[in-house]
Structure 1
Amino acid sequence: MTTPAPTGVWPVMLTPFDADGRVDLAVLDRYTDWLIDQGAAGLFPVALSGEMYELTPLERLLVAERVVHRAAGRVPVAAAIASAGTDEEVADAVGRLAATGVDIVVLVASVALAEGEPDQRLLDLVDVVAAANPDVALGVYECPMPYHRVLRDETVGALAETGRFAFFKETSHDVGRMATRVWFAEGTPLRVFDAGIETLAQSVAAGTAGLSGWIANVHPDAVARLIDLVRAEGASPRALALQAALGAAEQAMGPTYPASAKVLVDLRSGIGFAPRSRWRPAEVVPAELADLLAQTEREVAAALALVSSPTARVGG
C-alpha cells in the first residue's frame, strides 16, 4: 500500500559538480546530511533544480542512489523520470529508478505529455507504469520545463484515486486551485506540495502538505518553521512576515540560480559547495550573496520576534 509523503519541507536538491565537471559525490553526501539536519521532511534529488535535464541517465541514477544511501532511511527520497519514450520504455525507466532505493518515482507532466496532448495520455501511461511496477509509489511534478504543463484538477483527482500516488509538486501558484486539488486528493495517499514560497502560508492554511521549491534548498529550517507557524496560527502576521523574508531571498538569488543557491548553501553549511552549473552557468559575487544571507537572517529573526494574536489570522 502506498504511504503518503511526509508533510513539511522537500528540498529539490541542488547537484554539486567538481572542478572536472563531474558530480561531486562527497559534497552530495554532506549536503544530504545538512538538509536532514536542517529539518527536511523528505528529499527530491533529480528535479529541475538538480539539473536533471543536464545529467546523463546514468548520473541521474547515481545521484538518486547516493542520496538514498546517505539518507539511510532518515527521510524518504523522491526522484524524477526526466526522459520520454514509449509507455513500456517509461515503465522500464521507473523500474530502474525504483531499484536505486528511492521511495517515490516521480513522473514529470511536461515530459510524459507532449504539448497539445490531452491529460488522458498521462492516465493511460500511468496504467502501464503501475501495472509493470506494482510495488512502486509514484509522484507527479508540474515542472515548468521543457514547457509548463498544469494538469486539469480532475486529472489530479484521477491520479489520486489510483491509490498509487504519494507526492504531487504542483506549480499553478493559485491557492484556490491548490485547495481544489487537496480536496480531490482527500482520502487517498496523495499529498499536494506547493512549489512557491510566495503562497506557502496561504496554501498550507488551505491544506497543502508543505513546500518543494527553490528556497527550501537554502533555508529548509526557516521554511519548516513557517509551516509549523501556519499549522499553529494560520497565516498570521508573523507567518506572513517570515514568508515575505524568504520570498525576497528567493527573488534575489533567482537571476543566477542555481549557482547563487550553491554559494548560499556553502555559506550556511561550509560543506564545500562550488557554484558550478551545467543548466544555467552564471557568474556570482560571493560578497553580495553573503550580504543577502545576512539580510535574510535579520529579516527571519525579526519576523519570528513578532507577536501574533490568534485572532489576527489570514486564511487560517
Structure 2
Amino acid sequence: MQSPPAGIWPVMLTPYDDGDRVDLDVLDRYTDWLIERGAAGLFPVALSGEMYELSHAERLEVAARVVARAAGRVPVCAAVAEPGSPDETADRVAELAAVGVDIVVLVASVVLAEQDDESALRTVVDAVLRAHPDVVLGIYECPLPYHRVLGDETVAWLAHTGRFAFFKETSHDVERMRARVAGATGTPMRIFNAGIESFAESIAVGVSGLSGWVANVYPDAARDVFDAAHRGDAARAESLQASLVEVEERMGPTYPGSAKHLVELRAGIGMRTSSRWRPAEVDATELARVREAAEAEVRAG
C-alpha cells in the first residue's frame, strides 16, 4: 500500500443552493479550484464539510461527486460520520469505498463514545480489517461531538496494521506530532497537522502536510508555507504562516460561512455562505480586508 502524497489536503466545504440542497455544480467547480491551486489530496465529508448535518445519502453523494470530478488528479478521502456497532461501521466503510474514495477515514470521537476506553477502538478496527482487507483507511481526531486525542501507542498500533495511510491529528502539540511520526515509521501512515499555527514547525518533525480550515480557502498559500519550510526558508514560512493564522482567527466566529464567502471572493464559483452547521451572517467588509491582507502577504513572496 502506498502512502498518500505529502502536502495540502483541504477539508472541503459543502456548498448549498437556495433550497438548502447540496449544490453539486458548485462542488465540481470548487474541486477543480482546489486542485488547480495545489491541493495534494481532498477531504470532503469532514467537520468543515458539515458531515454531521448531511444525511447518509448526501455524504455518499458528496464523496462520489468529488471522486468523479477529481478523476484521479489527486486522491480523495471521506469520513464515516455515523456511530454504530463494529459490523455497522464496517458496512459504512464499504459504502464509501464503493463510491470510489481512495481512503476511508474513521472518526475517533464517533467510533468511541466519550466514556469508552480506547481499547474499544481495536475491536472496531479489527472488524473493519477483517471485513475489508483491500480498503485503505485513515483516522481523524475530530473535535466534535467531543475531542478524543488518541494515545500515541494506539496511533502506532493503527500505523503498524499496515492498513492506515492517513492520520488527521488534532493535538496541536508539535512534540506529540514528533512522537506520532516516530511511531508510524516504516508504515504507510502519514501524519497531517490540522493546525496552521504550528504547520512549519511540524514539518520539521516529519509531519507530511496540512489538513485544516485555512486550506479550504488558501490551499495555494498553505502550499507556499510547505514549500518554504522544506527548502529551509524559515523567514518566509513563518511570515506567511502568521498571515494564515490571522485568516483563521478572523473567519472563526462565523465559520464555515466566512470561509465560503472568502472562497467566492477568490474563485467566483457561485459558493453561497449558507451553513446547516453554524448558520451566521458574515461581515463582507471585514472578510474583504482579510482577503486583502492575506493576498498582500502572498504577493510579497
Q: TM-score range by the shorter chain?
A: over 0.9
> 2:48 maps to what in 1?
49
Gaps of 5+ in 1: 305-316
Q: Which amino acid aligns with 2:30?
A: Y
How far, CA to CA, are the matches of 2:243 and 2:191 in structure 1? Answer: 23
TM-score by length of 1: 0.94
SS in structure 2 at match of 1:233: coil
Matches within 5 A, 1:217-228: 217-228=216-227
SS in structure 1 at match of 2:231: helix
Output one character per residue of 1:105-144: Cα deviation in whole Å (capped at 9) or x when no partner. 0000000001121211111110100110111000000000
> 1:153 maps to what in 2?
152
> 1:86 maps to what in 2?
85
Cα deviation, residue 66, structure 1: 0.2
> 2:275 maps to what in 1?
277
Q: Which amino acid aligns with 1:54?
A: E
How far, CA to CA, are the matches of 1:58 and 1:261 in structure 2? Answer: 25
SS in structure 2 at match of 1:202: helix
SS in structure 1 at match of 2:191: strand
Cα deviation, residue 170, structure 1: 0.1
Cα deviation, residue 285, structure 1: 2.3
Matches within 5 A, 1:301-316: 301-302=299-300, 304=301
How far, CA to CA, are the matches of 1:58 and 1:219 in structure 2? Answer: 29
> 1:313 maps to what in 2?
none
TM-score by length of 2: 0.99
Cα deviation, residue 287, structure 1: 2.5
How far, CA to CA, are the matches of 2:86 and 2:115 in structure 1? Answer: 18
> 2:136 maps to what in 1?
137
Matches within 5 A, 1:98-117: 98-117=97-116
* Contact preservation (8 Å) 1:258, 1:277: yes
1:289 aligns with 2:249: no
Matches within 5 A, 1:1-316: 2-233=1-232, 236-302=234-300, 304=301
SS in structure 2 at match of 1:105: strand
How far, CA to CA, are the matches of 1:25 and 1:3 in structure 2? Answer: 30
Q: Which amino acid aligns with 1:169?
A: K
Q: Which amino acid aligns with 1:149?
A: R
How far, CA to CA, are the matches of 1:79 and 1:3 in structure 2? Answer: 18
How far, CA to CA, are the matches of 1:285 and 1:175 in structure 2? Answer: 33
Cα deviation, residue 276, structure 1: 0.5
How far, CA to CA, are the matches of 2:179 and 2:162 in structure 1? Answer: 18
Output one character per residue of 1:137-180: Cα deviation in whole Å (capped at 9) or x when no partner. 00000000000000000000000000000100000000000000
Q: Which amino acid aligns with 2:21?
A: R
Gaps of 5+ in 2: none
RMSD of equivalent CA atoms: 0.8
* Contact preservation (8 Å) 1:246, 1:300: no
How far, CA to CA, are the matches of 1:248 and 1:300 in structure 2? Answer: 13
